[in-house]
Structure 1
């Protein structure tokens, strides 16, 4: 079951990346919408990763090392 979920996620990521390239080359409107959603999701993931790392850095500062 988890393999199917991961394959579905991989298909969504690959499709999103393809839409980003296609939209950059002047693709149809729906491809530009999917590309914008893909880029927005990437920015959210990047921001959450930065926040997670900041939280880990703060927790390690208080241990006296």
Structure 2
């Protein structure tokens, strides 16, 4: 079940990226709508992940 959801998300991402390319090359109006939604979703996800709380994972192992 989880695999099917992940495959569905992957299909949506690939289709969205395809619409971004197609809209850039002058595709129909609906591709511009889907491309806008894809780009805005990516921007929102980037902001969400940037503000996501991170745990301080200092194990004291040195390295840097």
Aligned residues: 56
How much has 1:23 moved relative to structure 2? 0.3
- Structure 1 alignment gaps of length 5 or more: 61-65
Give the secondary structure class of the aligned counterpart of 2:22. Answer: helix
Length-normalised TM-score, structure 2? 0.81
TM score, norm. by length of structure 1: 0.80
Map of 1:63 onto structure 2: none
Cα RMSD for the two superposed structures: 1.2
Query: More helix per residue: 1 or 2?
Result: 1
- Gap runs ≥5 in structure 2: 57-64
